[in-house]
Each structure stands twice: as C-alpha cells, then as structure tokens.
Homo-oligomer: A and B are copies of this chain.
Amino acid sequence: MAAQRVILEASEMPTHWYNVVADMPNPPAPPLGPDGKPVSPEMMMQIFSGPILEQEMSAERWIPIPEPVREIYALWRPTPLCRAERLEQALGTPAKIYYKNESVSPAGSHKPNSAVPQAYLNKMAGIKRMTTETGAGQWGSSLSFATQMFGIELRIYMVKVSYNQKPFRRSMMQTWGAEVLASPTDMTNAGRKALAADPNNPGSLGLAISEAVEEAAGRADTKYGLGSVLNHVLLHQTVIGLEAKKQFSKIGVYPDMIFAPCGGGSNFAGAAFPFLADKAAGKNVRLVAVEPTSCPTLTKGHYAYDFGDESGYTPMMLMYTLGHDFMPPSIHAGGLRYHGDSPLVSQLYKEGLVEAVAVPQVATFAAGVQFARAEGIIPAPESNHAIRAVIDEALRCKETGEPKVLFFNLSGHGHFDMASYDRYLAGQLEDYAYPEAAIEAALHRLPKVPA
C-alpha cells in the first residue's frame, strides 16, 4: 500500500518557530504612527502584551515554542502530510501533489496555531481577558478554543450580518465559553457612533476591529488578539511548514512549488516561510501566494503605507493594499477579503522572493469539489484557492510532462461553508474581478505619511 500519509511522532513536533525576518535581504519596514515616525512599543502595549510585542519585533531566527503551547498543540499536532494520489490520477498528471492537513484542529483550520500561543503569552503576562473581532468566525472560534484552554475570558465582536446569518460558528464559540456580541454594539464609542448614524448598521470587519481594539485599549486587564497580518501571527503559523519539511525529509522528497491561500498572509507564511530559508540558501523552490480575483491585493494592489483597519485606528504599515476603505465583494472565502496583506509577505513579494496568482471564485469551488471527490475531505473555500492553483499547475505539468512536486496548505475544512457549496452546485455562484478603476482610485485615498 502506498504511504499516503506521512505522520510525525509527538516528540518530532518542532520546538521552535521560524522567524523569516532573520533571512530577509532587507530589514522589515517599520509600522508608522500618525506623526510618520515608527510606533513605539509603549503605543503598541496599549493593546498587546509584552511577550507578544517581543515576538512581533524580534529578528531572531528561531523562537522557542513554550512547553504549555506544545502541550495544547499536541491535541491535534503534528498534522499529517498527505499525498493526493487519487487527485493526481483523476488529473492524469505526472506531477506529485502533497498537502498539509490543517483541518484536523478542533476549530477546523490553521488558526489555532496562533490563537494558542496568543492566549498563553497573554496569560503569562497576567492578562485575564481578551477581545477580538470575527467575520465568518474562523478566527473567533479558534481564539475561543485557545482562551478556554488557558482560562482567559474572551469577548468577540462578530460582524452583525454574520452573527445573524451564520449562527453555527457563533454556537461553536459559545460552546468553548466565549461571549459573542453582534457588532456594532452600544458598548464602545465606535459602535455607538455607528448605531447613531444607522440603527440598522449590519456591521463590518473594520468596525468590529475598532470595537475590539477600543475595549482592549481602555482596560488594563484586557488585550487584543489579531488572527493574521502581524509578524508574530505569521511566526506562530510556521509550525506548519516546519513540520512539512520534516515530513518531506522522511520520504526523501522536496517540493518544487508551494501554494497557500493568501488573505492577511498567515496561512501562506505558515506553509511557505520555512522553505524560504532554503531558497535564501540557493535552493530552487517557488513560493506562490494564491488570492481571489475579487480581492487581488498582491497582484493588483499598491505597495504603500496604509492603515490596517477601515477606520484608521491602527499604525500605518508598508504593504500591498487596495486601500483601507476597500469594500471587498462578499465572496465566500471570508478569510481572503482583507484589503491589505502582511507587511512581511508584501516586502518579500516586492523583492521577488515570493510569487502571487489570483484565481476566480467559481473555479475555486470546482477545484474544491474535484478534490473532495478524489480525496474525501471537503475543503474550506479559502483552501480551494490553493487547490485551484495546484490543479492548474498539475495540468500544465501534464502538457509538458514535468513530474514536479507540488505542495499546498489544506488550511481548513468546509463543514461550516456548505451553503456556499450548495450555491456552487446550484450554479448560483458568480465571478467578480475587482475593477481596475477602483483600484486606481484607491491610490489617491491612501494616507499621507508625514515627512
């Protein structure tokens, strides 16, 4: 029988995360405050605890994974590396397709890889409460699980339209003991202002971020948790790629190309960055971030300083952006609708070390269904983006006869996204390419950085 799954022992779980900053050709551009100067740790300490900030600003290559974090990781990690042989056969490709199955976590995605250390590090800093925001609920459910593991209270501002239309991720958060509020609420200035303007405001991710950040900034016992974009979140996710490297090494295989969905960047960074170390050392490996054509941040956006949130509460970060006031169409891959991208991913893309490709929505669901029918697992819509790009490459290999090794991050399952599959199967999904004119116009609304 073919070895379809490469399993690591618990003792083989990585002991350190990999910090790509150590291998970047240039140091990362600093986040800037309203005065145009790099933000001070004191400013960041309003919403993040010390141990989190230390990781955020570190340039050390290896950062230890605390033992209590590894103990919680051990509930589902190391995750399997699987060969998708049945998909290869269905495609008739000489390419070999491997994937890392991150859907086996309690929350069903890679997100707990960062939620767990965030909860633990805050606990160590004496923090009793956390706040966060969530849209469709992947991050909110992951942080609910993680804070429950360490006895931290969690309040989640969930975009009201999702709160009402997608109750099951909310139930999941509540099962893990979190308090979930429909945002906008009347508990913050940002929420009250929005409700005063429109009592029926359906909420938005930007507004929910503002509420969660405002509450954390106003309470000494409370800190904020973010699920992507920032350096420390990307760092935590590298456990994916580090495990994958060990697994490939066990079977004497090395991937030619690595694919992962890219929204805020932590999914892609987690799978790809550990391989970038080899690339920096001369290894020929291509790292491909896959984004939706409806939110084409890397492939169509501007490389410029912009805010991380809609309201402009956060520091300005140098990144690819469609403009902080970008209103992404409501595609089903909620995790890929962010206007910007991680500054680290952006800089590496700018410097040519990583590639990016955009794929349209309907084709991503076609890829997800093809994968499910070959390999069993029904993937999350975000993961379908990587699968689409992998299938496209595998079909190119079929033309050329190249037996490339393709690796992708199966970042989550689609159990809470079946309504989207339903719409796809009923022929009701549509493609949407964000208009070039709107992207061009966003350039003129980017914040002015004081000299």
Interface residues of A (CB under 8 A from B): 1-5, 7, 9-11, 67, 70-72, 74-76, 82, 86, 104-106, 108, 145, 148-149, 167-168, 171-172, 174-177, 369, 372-373, 375-378, 415-416, 418-419, 421-422, 425
Contact B10 A175 (CB under 8 A): no
Whether A104 contacts B106 in the complex (CB less than 8 A), given A67-B1, A372-B176, A418-B172, comes out as no
Contact B4 A106 (CB under 8 A): no
In Å, the complex CA distance between A80 and B61 comes to: 33
In Å, the complex CA distance between A230 and B416 comes to: 33
Contact B148 A415 (CB under 8 A): no
Residues of B within 8 A of A377 (CB): 75, 106
Closest to A420 in B: B171
Starting from the known contacts A106-B372, A108-B415, 9 additional A-B residue pairs (CB-CB under 8 Å) come to: A4-B75, A7-B7, A7-B9, A75-B82, A105-B376, A106-B377, A171-B419, A175-B369, A175-B372
Contact A421 B175 (CB under 8 A): yes
Residues of B within 8 A of A168 (CB): 415, 418-419, 422
| 3 interchain residue pairs of minimum CB distance | A106-B376, A168-B418, A171-B418
Residues of B within 8 A of A4 (CB): 10, 71, 74-75
Interface of A is mostly: helix
26 contacts between A and B (CB under 8 A): A1-B11, A1-B67, A1-B74, A2-B71, A4-B71, A4-B74, A4-B75, A5-B75, A7-B7, A75-B82, A75-B375, A75-B376, A75-B377, A86-B149, A106-B372, A106-B378, A108-B415, A148-B373, A168-B419, A171-B421, A172-B421, A174-B421, A175-B369, A175-B372, A175-B378, A175-B421
The distance from the CB of A285 to the nearest CB of chain B, in whole angstroms, is: 27
Contact A145 B376 (CB under 8 A): yes
Residues of B within 8 A of A7 (CB): 7, 9-10
The distance from the CB of A68 to the nearest CB of chain B, in whole angstroms, is: 10
The distance from the CB of A79 to the nearest CB of chain B, in whole angstroms, is: 11
Contact A376 B71 (CB under 8 A): no
In Å, the complex CA distance between A176 and B376 comes to: 8
Residues of B within 8 A of A105 (CB): 376
Residues of B within 8 A of A11 (CB): 1
Residues of B within 8 A of A373 (CB): 148, 175-177
A171 in complex: contacting residue of B82, B148, B167, B422, CB < 8 Å: B422
In Å, the complex CA distance between A171 and B372 comes to: 12
Residues of B within 8 A of A177 (CB): 373
Whether A174 contacts B1 in the complex (CB less than 8 A), given A106-B377, A415-B416, comes out as no
Residues of B within 8 A of A372 (CB): 106, 175-176
The distance from the CB of A364 to the nearest CB of chain B, in whole angstroms, is: 14
A425 in complex: contacting residue of B104, B171, B422, B425, CB < 8 Å: B171
In Å, the complex CA distance between A375 and B1 comes to: 33
The distance from the CB of A418 to the nearest CB of chain B, in whole angstroms, is: 4
The distance from the CB of A227 to the nearest CB of chain B, in whole angstroms, is: 17
Residues of B within 8 A of A5 (CB): 10, 74-75
The distance from the CB of A365 to the nearest CB of chain B, in whole angstroms, is: 10
The distance from the CB of A126 to the nearest CB of chain B, in whole angstroms, is: 22
Whether A376 contacts B76 in the complex (CB less than 8 A), given A171-B421, A171-B422, A415-B108, comes out as yes
Residues of B within 8 A of A9 (CB): 7
Residues of B within 8 A of A167 (CB): 418-419, 422
Residues of B within 8 A of A3 (CB): 10
The distance from the CB of A410 to the nearest CB of chain B, in whole angstroms, is: 12
In Å, the complex CA distance between A209 and B37 comes to: 71
The distance from the CB of A290 to the nearest CB of chain B, in whole angstroms, is: 21
The distance from the CB of A426 to the nearest CB of chain B, in whole angstroms, is: 9
Closest to A377 in B: B106
A175 in complex: contacting residue of B106, B149, B425, CB < 8 Å: B425
Whether A376 contacts B171 in the complex (CB less than 8 A), given A3-B10, A71-B2, comes out as no
The distance from the CB of A158 to the nearest CB of chain B, in whole angstroms, is: 14
Most buried by B among A9, A86, A373, A416: A373
Most buried by B among A418, A421, A425: A418
Whether A149 contacts B376 in the complex (CB less than 8 A), given A1-B70, A10-B3, comes out as yes
